[in-house]
Amino acid sequence: MPHPRNPQTFRVKSFGCQMNVYDGERMGELLAAQGMRAASEGEDADLVVLNTCHIRERASEKVYSDIGRLRRDDDTAPMIAVAGCVAQAEGEEIMTRAPSVSMVVGPQAYHRLPGMIEEAARGRRSTDTDMPANTKFEALPERRRAGASAFLTVQEGCDKFCTYCVVPYTRGAEISRPFSDLLREAEKLAENGAREITLLGQNVNAWTGATSSGRSLGFDDLIRELDKLPKLKRIRYTTSHPNDVTEGLIRAHGEVEKLMPFLHLPVQSGSDRVLKAMNRSHTADSYLRVIERFREARPDIAISGDFIVGFPGETDADFEDTLRLIDTVGYAQAFSFKYSPRPGTPAATMERQVPRELMDERLQRLQAALNRDQLAFNQASVGRRCEVLVERRGKKPGQWLGKSPWLQSVFFEGEAAIGDMVSVDLAEAGANSVRGLLLEPVGA
């Protein structure tokens, strides 16, 4: 272990999903509340928190190369904390393999970082991968800063046990955060500048709660309650499971104006045989029917998804089924991955693992289809007039970047500021972004 001292500055580096980004922000706020300061760009930090992801092999290998890069043999070496899902899954192994790591802290225990840092400053390494009954949320300081678009974790963990997935092991069982806490956090975020909130959860639409008077609430009720916050202009959510979609959520898409016309609904495969082996508990058809119902409620809704190619036993015919499903849906955007065996999951030991080259070839074909559809979606939006939430400056002087209601990246030139909602005409489509022409601003 490097030279013990009390860190004054910190840097949190988050990998993986948006929930990790959210956790990273909250760790930063916690450290700031302890009197530490975020290191500025280019400045060496006294403490580096690697907030890791375990979802696929490539993601989890990153942690060791990052630790290697931070190593120094003199006293300029930073104190290193490994957090996130690799910490949860491989805590002991990290401690053994990487002596320069001072502490390992799981995604449900990071509120205990201050104590662990104190220990490390005294030269003692520690590991905390507890999943305590009193959640970390109760121990974290209130939200103080927010960008134009903010994340809010409302639900964590997963009880679905898809056979390829580590999440039930790294994030634990499904839990919903209490309604009153969420309302308060959303209010704070809106007060601090958030115009859009994306509600996060591994199965976000499985969220349940109750009002202070005991009325029980579903995920759609949560959306309708947040809709009442005047400063908040947009609501999004991710990720959903097809089986937890309710009639109420579908209806909300037709009725709640602040709820954006966008749905990320992973399907993983278009083959019922593969879906069964994945333990997805839906079929290609039942998935398509869910999408249809969303489209009936909100015809312009943009659909996004996740795909895995090369799941054990996937045949050419199975893969063709996936391509067919993609053609049927017409995704506005989607994520696709090669299957990666994760230690401890049932699929890792299944027979008929698909050879690498075949996976590569299938992924290429799949991504070509998805890219084609994404460009087509963007092209079809040209001529639409819509609101854009301005999130940051573009690369060129006078240029701004923001998101359309359909989550397209839109760039435009003219008078604007971060957090503005501006009206644009969508004028020119690329594969990854759309050029907008600014109309008059409609207020911040």
Binding site for ligand SF4 (CB under 6 A): 16-17, 19-20, 53-55, 84-85, 166-167, 170-171
* Closer residue to ligand SF4 (CB): 201 or 419: 201
* Closer residue to ligand 5AD (CB): 120 or 407: 407
* Closer residue to ligand 5AD (CB): 20 or 149: 20
Closest separation in Å from C-beta 333 to ligand SF4: 17
* Closer residue to ligand 5AD (CB): 20 or 381: 20
Task: Identify whether 52 is preceded by a cis peptide bond (ω within 30 of 0).
Answer: no
Closest separation in Å from C-beta 310 to ligand 5AD: 8
Closest separation in Å from C-beta 209 to ligand 5AD: 24
53 binds, among ligand 5AD, ligand SF4, none (CB under 5 to 8 A by kind): ligand SF4
268 binds, among ligand SF4, ligand 5AD, none (CB under 5 to 8 A by kind): ligand 5AD
20 binds, among ligand SF4, ligand 5AD, none (CB under 5 to 8 A by kind): ligand SF4
Closest separation in Å from C-beta 52 to ligand SF4: 7
Q: CA-CA distance, 232 to 149, in Å (whole number)?
A: 10
241 binds, among ligand SF4, ligand 5AD, none (CB under 5 to 8 A by kind): none
Closest separation in Å from C-beta 293 to ligand SF4: 27
- Positions that interact with ligand 5AD (CB under 6 A): 55-56, 164-165, 266, 268, 306, 308, 337, 339-340, 342
For ligand 5AD, which residue has the nearest CB?
306
Edge-first strand listing for the sheet containing 333-338: 262-264, 302-309, 333-338
170 binds, among ligand SF4, ligand 5AD, none (CB under 5 to 8 A by kind): ligand SF4
Backbone φ and ψ of 232, nearest 5°: -85, 130
* Closer residue to ligand SF4 (CB): 87 or 190: 87
Distances in Å between the Cα of 255 and the Cα atoms of 207, 239, 283, 384, 423 are 20, 21, 28, 21, 22
Residue 52's identity, in one-letter code, is T
* Closer residue to ligand SF4 (CB): 85 or 418: 85
85 binds, among ligand 5AD, ligand SF4, none (CB under 5 to 8 A by kind): ligand SF4
Q: CA-CA distance, 269 to 280, in Å (whole number)?
A: 10
The CA-based dihedral angle spanning residues 285, 287, 291, 294, taken in that order and rounded to the nearest 10 degrees: 120
Parallel, antiparallel, or unpaired: how do β-strands 175-176 and 433-441 relate?
Answer: unpaired
Backbone φ and ψ of 404, nearest 5°: -80, 170
342 binds, among ligand SF4, ligand 5AD, none (CB under 5 to 8 A by kind): ligand 5AD
Closest CA to 412 of 383, 432, 433: 433
Closest separation in Å from C-beta 307 to ligand SF4: 15
84 binds, among ligand SF4, ligand 5AD, none (CB under 5 to 8 A by kind): ligand SF4
* Closer residue to ligand SF4 (CB): 26 or 54: 54
340 binds, among ligand SF4, ligand 5AD, none (CB under 5 to 8 A by kind): ligand 5AD
312 C-beta neighbours (distance < 10 Å), count: 20
* Closer residue to ligand 5AD (CB): 94 or 308: 308
* Closer residue to ligand 5AD (CB): 151 or 411: 151
157 binds, among ligand 5AD, ligand SF4, none (CB under 5 to 8 A by kind): none
Closest separation in Å from C-beta 99 to ligand 5AD: 29
Closest separation in Å from C-beta 12 to ligand SF4: 13
Distances in Å between the Cα of 125 and the Cα atoms of 51, 101, 104, 115, 432 are 17, 8, 8, 11, 44
* Closer residue to ligand 5AD (CB): 176 or 269: 269
16 binds, among ligand 5AD, ligand SF4, none (CB under 5 to 8 A by kind): ligand SF4
* Closer residue to ligand SF4 (CB): 17 or 105: 17
